[in-house]
Chains A and B, each alone.
Chain A
Amino acid sequence: MGKISKSTLNKVLLRTQGCQFAHNYERMQSLSLTYCFAPVLEELYKDAPKEERVNAMKRHLEYFNTHPLAIPFILGITAALEESTDEDQKDTVVGIKTSLMGPFAGLGDSLLNLTWFPIAGSIGASMCVDNGSIVGPLVMFLLINLLYWPLKYFGLHKGYEMGMELVEKAGVQVFDRLGNLANVLGVMVTGGLVATTVKLKLAVQFAFGEGDPLVLQDQLDKVLPFLLPVVLTFICYRLLKKGQGKNSAQIIIGLIVFSLVFAAIGFYFPAFKIFA
């Protein structure tokens, strides 16, 4: 243990900042990962014959895809494994590396992409959407990076120091549990965002003789505040479920056409202005 120097690992950390630059449909992150991991292989295979070095590079060029934030950690573990295995055990290195990518991809997507980014974005945006204050982007930047940099740095170094021990100690079920926790967090925040970010209001008014006209939106608000955003989100949800998420572009275009049609009607026939 400890053959690989800290500076080599930091070089890997620097290189993982480009961990998807050569992304492609055939082997996804593999080429980028080979580039990221090359400093470790160079150090370990400094004096090895060419054939072994070729094999070492080749086995890391195989298919790989996970969440970008998990890459430093997985590479840390891989470095520890590369160092502690003999040349004829290298299948296990690749095997373990590949077995880690699935769980981490799921965890990263649900914890970070589906939960942390939307939270950071909505907090930041809500602070500046009305006044253009620089505080909004700043808060968003800090929320993201104060979490991400420790994950990357300690992921790589701890991953190397502890190797598989860390994963084995925690056990695979931890992934499920963390995933469930992220799920609760994400769903609850999303519930709040439906009320605060989706904007749709009726402009319909009924005038009965004299006195104040009956404003339909006020009546709706008495029934349930944000009724229209809830209905709209629910419709989108049903449509996306039906199209298995592949029809989002059509839904967006549909909403634009819908809005334009009603805007035109409202403009040319003010009596029929439906949406504010």
Chain B
Amino acid sequence: MLQALLLAIWAGLCTWDQFGPHLGFRKPLLASVGVGIILGDMTTAIMIGATMELMWLGVNNIGAYVPPDVISGTIVGAALGIMGGGDTASAIALAVAIGIPTATLVQQLNILVMTTNVSLVHGADKAIESGKFNAVNKFFWTGALCFFLTRAVPVFIATGIGSFVIEDIMNFLQNQVPWVLSGFSTAGGMMPAVGLAMLLTMMMKKNMWIFLLLGFIMAAFLNVPTVGIALAACAAAGVWDVITEGQKNQPAPAAAPAAGSDDDEEYDL
């Protein structure tokens, strides 16, 4: 129970990171570190976190879109995966099996709170109208508390109840229907395709296939690690900029020098 409470608090804190400082704890890999500390199994927690990080790589808040909640998905999944007491591979598969539905459920809660929070802004309207400026703080922190609870409460319930039954479930899965875990293992391996496809739907514009292909070739045939691809991509972006800017300047060579000097701004990517 104490563990469930600590996990719930950790989930709430990670949620605050998502709505506030963006330190990175809203992402599975860093969220899983807290689970590792609380449950005392850092290695398994991080392996689960890394699997989920890759699985949900493309899951991101873009504009007003509310994605599946990877925070509660990671924390509940990793916690129960570890509590299940199986070997590492089954722990990861179980974590994926639990994490995906959790993330989808909490996503709905988030949408709910985004809606109920509308009343806060109306409350603040009235408070300001009557000159009670400090009341704004009260409404602000109420919103913060609501978001904290959207993750903390589900995590508390799931890990609190889950800790009693998860070992039996794990035994049942491993001995009676092992194909469920292997199925989720396969599904977990396929999941990144959804996230990456999601990224691509937002990034594929004119001519971008060139760079998609380049990145793929470097990874698939040349085995360049991601850091190397990212650096090569910086260079490619630079070349691309020179080409597109060159094209823009061509029709009006007279205006080019003025625009050109402005364009020498440096890019620290």
Contacts and interface: CB of A to CB of B under 8 A. Distances in A.
Contact of B133 (A31, A57, A120, A251): A57
Interface string A112-150: 011001111111111011111110110011001100100
B219 A65 contact: no
Nearest to A30: B121
B86 to A, nearest CB: 15
B19 A133 contact: no
A190 interface: yes
A200 interface: yes
Interface in A41-61: 42, 50, 53-54, 57-58, 61
A20 B61 CA distance: 12
A34 B136 contact: yes
Nearest to B204: A187
Nearest to B48: A132
B213 A191 contact: yes
Interface centre among A110, A185, A193 (most CB of B within 10 A): A185
Contact of B23 (A144, A182, A186, A263): A144
A233 interface: yes
Interface in A40-94: 42, 50, 53-54, 57-58, 61, 65, 68-69
Given A53-B133, A255-B187, A196 B205 contact: no
B57 A193 contact: yes
Contacts of B186: 200, 259, 262-263, 275
Interface stretch (B1-9, B152-160, B162-170, B190-198): B190-198
B49 A137 contact: yes
A268 B176 CA distance: 12
Interface in A211-246: 224-226, 229-230, 232-237, 239-241, 245
A188 B49 contact: no
B232 interface: yes
Nearest to B24: A144
Interface string A193-217: 1111111100000000000000000
A183 interface: yes
Grouping DSSP codes into helix (H, G, I), strand (E, B) and loop, the B interface class, with mixed when no group exceeds half, is helix
Contacts of B252: none
A263 B199 CA distance: 28
Interface in A139-183: 140-141, 144-145, 148, 170-171, 174, 177-178, 180-183
A111 B16 CA distance: 22
A136 B50 contact: yes
Interface of A: 17-28, 30-32, 34-35, 38, 42, 50, 53-54, 57-58, 61, 65, 68-69, 105, 109-111, 113-114, 117-126, 128-134, 136-137, 140-141, 144-145, 148, 170-171, 174, 177-178, 180-200, 224-226, 229-230, 232-237, 239-241, 245, 248-249, 251-252, 255-256, 258-264, 266-268, 275
Interface of B: 16, 18-24, 27, 29-30, 32-33, 42-47, 49-51, 53-54, 57-58, 60-65, 67-68, 100, 104, 114-118, 120-121, 124-125, 128-129, 131, 133, 136-137, 139-144, 147, 178-180, 182-184, 186-187, 189-194, 196-205, 208, 211-221, 224-227, 229-230, 232-234, 236-238, 240-241, 244-245, 262, 265, 267, 269
21 contacts: A28-B64, A34-B140, A53-B131, A113-B61, A114-B60, A118-B57, A118-B60, A122-B53, A132-B46, A132-B47, A144-B24, A145-B24, A188-B215, A190-B196, A194-B219, A237-B201, A252-B191, A255-B190, A259-B183, A260-B179, A275-B186
Given A122-B226, A131-B43, 8 more contacts: A19-B19, A140-B27, A177-B241, A181-B269, A190-B215, A191-B213, A198-B190, A260-B180
